[in-house]
Structure 1
């Protein structure tokens, strides 16, 4: 319980002492955060949700085929990368004209403007691929594409300075992705179709070659079949097939010749060769109209009517001729059907005949080759037609399930979150700086810290104590409150100094009386309570019955006379500069404390000569020697070490140096520096100890044994 209470008091003490630093740090960090938050351009986020269906989709095959969960997950992750790919984003950039967009388009950045202002680089906008790359990079930095957990949902989020623009671009990315997915499936299907169509050409040739090989073998060996079987009808079938083939060729040639005459408007020859009554009648009417038109006067009404009638007859003639040619062309198909029927009859008759085994085997082999070629051709043709149909019936595997809508508020900056985080950081930074300043930069806050850093013994810790009135000194507590913690800490200092002197001072030789001890009170900086500690120590020595003299050696800012409520005296300075003879020393400059038996040599004003010269003269040495011979203790209240060098010259007279450190105020670096300088100038037998002054709170043994003290 006691340790917990001590820790909290210690922390509260740090906060109280460094409250200004903490408040200033919090205010500065919050001010920076507020300025930063309100200087950031608000950004709006539009999010589109896309659902990916990993099953295969085919409108010609209603059954859907799904993969395993692992392959589905990999498929969704792949689609995420496709949505975020440069190809999709470049399509959106081109479609939405983002090259010239004021937010995402090509523009000069701050870095380019600075370089141009410093004449390091010319102020030019990028063009071509460089401009496209800049826009793509800027656009991509404002896009987030992610999968929602382990679902099949992909979230496409676009950030923009304009709410409607953010939603528009998010939807555009989703639409472009789905459209590219369909285009990709169509392209893949058409590539497959093209490959199969190239194979169809070879398959068709194979069918023709297989059929031809079979027919050539049959027709080429009919005579041998007749001889082997004795069936003369086989030869008759072959001859009939040849006749049909010849008639077909003749008819086809005739159709081609007549169609050429039709295209050349040679209706008279066409009518003669077609032998069609309708065509012949129309041809005769045409000839009569042409003759009548030749007899009519040019430009007359009769000529115009005749010409119109002639054009009508020619149109009818062309229609009738085309009809007759179509009928003639249909007869070609009849020849093919008859020839095909006869071929089947011939093949059946041959296969049903009693032929040698090797001949039948050869026939079956050629027949099977023809069937296989036809089957393969039919399969390729069917697949080609299916792919052609599929290319027109492709649907996307993904769809938009939730389009983006313009957001009602900005997504960044998150003002409250940033300010909350900044507030927490500010409080943490304030306390951290307070702790650093308290323990590493500002001063000492514990006994262990003093001993660890100075590597010197700590004589005592003096608690903070305030004078009751402005006319009283803090050292009056030794008389007014002899059982207080303050008075006890000074007595602890006296005991520590006595033990140190007895342990380190050599005994007198030749039976001479022991001279008095010189105790020097020093500090690094002014205002650390050094004079108060000097007077308090001198008074407690006097109260213990020892004859004690205190000398105010701070010739620049003397203060002992104020603490003792004595009249100021310039006698010490006058003596040191030679204005007072040594015989008149005690009568002129020595004063007596009204509350104790303490003797004091006080000051009165700032010296007009360099103060170090006063201390280094022989008169000051004689003063100290005289004081040693007449007093048990001589306390030297020295000036601070860092501002002036006087204390370094005083150190050689001291038997013990008590270095005053003010709680949480004396900088550690200056403290160590001052102690190092004292260690270089002190006498060899002199010991240096530290004193931690004005400790706040009841800490350590004062708290543990508070019942022993009274104020």
Structure 2
């Protein structure tokens, strides 16, 4: 029944305190979501799953069958993006823009409390028992309520006020009930809004749905009409005051002009026109000065550069210079002819040269006259510009005085113009608004009215049953998962090794789950059926313990647990008897000073025992008893062995264990639980190995971890954990890969 696993790191000396906290958190994700593991989980929780699923499904069926049939009627309202343009004026209250947010807003308006109140009042739904819970009560209670309502008129003002509050609350409850039956939603991404109403009566459902659509359109028209009427009244009042203001402002402008002699022509004063003329003349004069100065400067530069004046612009255009140049050209031609014919000293030659020199002198004199003329023109231009500039300065001085008066005039004119503009805009808007009264249009229209439904909308029996089945399955799964999460016990070898990080020593089956027919005591069954699976479990346990410390002998074994009732004594005796049947020298030492469970199990009631041996009051041979069935030896506790002394930590206990090691192959110490008693922490380090027992699916993991912490630092060697009282029939539903998973396949291998 046991598959030995390699021993893990010693939890009593491990750095993390022997608990392996990080690796005991549940294993890897792949292992947690193993399909076989899930299947096994549902196999062992099938009854819980079926019970929860059945209860939920039956509840859904009962609710569906007992529910009142309801009928739903739907009216379709469309936001109309096309508006009739009767007059080409802007409306006081503009139409709704065609975007998604506006459609969603109108949906909320259709679901508003104000609109629901109007529907309730229009159809008197407060008198309908379907929506007014107060009217559903019949019999004496209804009569009492009627009497109370009739007596409200005779109450004092304070009491009547309380009655009015109660009536208002009742009205609010009716509105709440109506809204709870209303469903308004947008049809996809269109501008169509579906207004649905659910009622016990199909006719009533259609009537209320149509009334919601009708009052919604009416509310839009009323809002536009009220806005237009208020705007018209306000504009009319405002125009009267604006008209008086315009007249006053324009009169102030005219009076100021007369007082300050600010006459004007063509939009400008006379001084401004004079300054404008002077500015133009001054600009022309300054341009002429610049032109004359440029001509003079150019001529002077040409002369300064070595020019004879022939290339000066005014000289080129002078008719005198042109004539002199023609004469000079003729004389030059004559000189050239005479020079070739007579030579330089000829009288005619000398005469011709004197003529040429005289002509050149005349040309230079003419050029000097031209330069002098240019200088005179520059002086004249400058004087003209200066005169115009002086006149302009005088005109500007006059204008400065006028401008001081114009500042106030401009302010008065701006005020008058603003008043006039404001008055005209209000007047135009008043005329437009007046023409709109009576032609307001709703921004929506009813596409189709609600018709009387022919079939009920709820409860939908097939859908409810399908959803109920899904809900039942989900509830069953949730119950199974919750039960598994709350199951803090250990069930498989994998649980022990992964969650506790210690070696798994084996499983001790529950005798009733493996024995055929009626079975007696487990300690007797080991002897009576030595080849049974129950006896084989203890042989496997002994083999696991022996090899828990590789390379070191294991003679003294301490059997303990976290809590009482884990099967320590039964396991200790069965382990010893099984080993004795194999021919080993075995002794069981009862170390549980408070319970003395070995005595009760073996039917012994000695007068001396372990305490007397340790105290030196009796010898070991006098105290040890022999099991006649197997030859196992027993060192019991006497009934009077009650002491507060630390007997297990004494040197006498060390000497006793040394003696038992020499004389026996296996020494089994049946100790007390770790958590309630401190004796085991003293005794455990003296053993070669500690066998820690945990009851299958019962002992909480936290209790085991707490016991490990108690043993931490004592120097004890934890051989591993063995599961006791394992139901092998149920174990096959746990842990794919665990030895118990295959019990049905190999149980016939044993002799019952």
TM-score for both structures, normalised by structure 2? 0.50
1:466 alignment partner, one of 514, 521, 532: 514
Distance in 1 (CA, whole Å) between partners of 2:536 and 2:467 is 49
1:635 alignment partner, one of 668, 675, 693: 668
Secondary structure at the counterpart of residue 190 of structure 2: coil
Pairing of 1:71-150 with structure 2 (within 5 A): 71=98, 76-77=103-104, 79-98=106-125, 126=165, 139-150=178-189
**Could you tell me whether the CA contact under 8 Å between 1:477 and 1:487 is conserved in 2?**
no
How much is the aligned-residue C-alpha RMSD, in angstroms? Answer: 5.8
The 1:38–1:660 alpha-carbon spacing in structure 2 relative to 1, beyond 3 Å, is farther
Distance in 2 (CA, whole Å) between partners of 1:602 and 1:38 is 70
The 1:573–1:42 alpha-carbon spacing in structure 2 relative to 1, beyond 3 Å, is farther
The 1:427–1:573 alpha-carbon spacing in structure 2 relative to 1, beyond 3 Å, is farther
**Does 2:465 match 1:432?**
no
Query: What is the deviation of 1:454?
Result: 3.6
**Could you tell me whether the CA contact under 8 Å between 1:459 and 1:496 is conserved in 2?**
no
Secondary structure at the counterpart of residue 445 of structure 1: coil
Higher relative contact order (CA 8 A, sep 6+): 2
CA deviation map 1:562-594 (0-9, x unaligned): 6xxxxx442446435769973584576222443
**Could you tell me whether the CA contact under 8 Å between 1:26 and 1:430 is conserved in 2?**
no
**Does 2:697 match 1:664?**
yes
The 1:667–1:388 alpha-carbon spacing in structure 2 relative to 1, beyond 3 Å, is closer
Distance in 2 (CA, whole Å) between partners of 1:534 and 1:100 is 82
Distance in 2 (CA, whole Å) between partners of 1:83 and 1:670 is 62
Query: 1:445 maps to which residue?
Result: 491
The 1:546–1:645 alpha-carbon spacing in structure 2 relative to 1, beyond 3 Å, is same
Pairing of 1:157-306 with structure 2 (within 5 A): 157-159=196-198, 165-183=204-222
Query: What is the deviation of 1:666?
Result: 1.7
Query: What is the deviation of 1:690?
Result: 2.0
Query: 1:348 maps to which residue?
Result: none
**Does 2:725 match 1:674?**
no
Aligned residues: 484
The 1:89–1:585 alpha-carbon spacing in structure 2 relative to 1, beyond 3 Å, is same
Distance in 1 (CA, whole Å) between partners of 2:708 and 2:235 is 99
The 1:10–1:610 alpha-carbon spacing in structure 2 relative to 1, beyond 3 Å, is farther
Distance in 2 (CA, whole Å) between partners of 1:610 and 1:39 is 72
Q: Can you give the 5+ residue segments of structure 2 that lack an aligned partner in the other structure?
A: 1-29, 89-94, 136-160, 241-427
Q: Can you give the 5+ residue segments of structure 1 that lack an aligned partner in the other structure?
A: 62-67, 109-121, 202-378, 506-516, 563-567
Query: 1:691 maps to which residue?
Result: 722
Query: 1:590 maps to which residue?
Result: 626
Query: What is the deviation of 1:426?
Result: 1.6
Distance in 2 (CA, whole Å) between partners of 1:386 and 1:155 is 35
Distance in 1 (CA, whole Å) between partners of 2:112 and 2:623 is 102
The 1:385–1:33 alpha-carbon spacing in structure 2 relative to 1, beyond 3 Å, is closer
The 1:409–1:125 alpha-carbon spacing in structure 2 relative to 1, beyond 3 Å, is farther
- Of residues 468-477 and 86-95 in structure 1, the stretch that sits farther from structure 2 once superposed is 468-477
Query: What is the deviation of 1:635?
Result: 0.5
Query: What is the deviation of 1:642?
Result: 5.1
**Could you tell me whether the CA contact under 8 Å between 2:202 and 2:453 is conserved in 1?**
yes
Query: What is the deviation of 1:628?
Result: 3.7
Secondary structure at the counterpart of residue 195 of structure 2: strand
Query: 1:496 maps to which residue?
Result: 547
Distance in 1 (CA, whole Å) between partners of 2:595 and 2:459 is 63
The 1:628–1:611 alpha-carbon spacing in structure 2 relative to 1, beyond 3 Å, is farther
Query: What is the deviation of 1:495?
Result: 3.1
Secondary structure at the counterpart of residue 403 of structure 1: coil
Query: What is the deviation of 1:463?
Result: 6.8
Query: What is the deviation of 1:125?
Result: 6.7
Distance in 1 (CA, whole Å) between partners of 2:481 and 2:527 is 39
The 1:612–1:403 alpha-carbon spacing in structure 2 relative to 1, beyond 3 Å, is farther
2:556 alignment partner, one of 499, 518, 535: 518
**Does 2:415 match 1:398?**
no
**Could you tell me whether the CA contact under 8 Å between 1:15 and 1:434 is conserved in 2?**
no
Query: What is the deviation of 1:83?
Result: 2.8
Secondary structure at the counterpart of residue 684 of structure 1: coil
CA deviation map 1:606-660 (0-9, x unaligned): x866867699488994865653442132102334445666655654653321101
Secondary structure at the counterpart of residue 480 of structure 1: coil
**Could you tell me whether the CA contact under 8 Å between 1:547 and 1:632 is conserved in 2?**
yes
Secondary structure at the counterpart of residue 145 of structure 1: strand
Query: What is the deviation of 1:146?
Result: 1.3
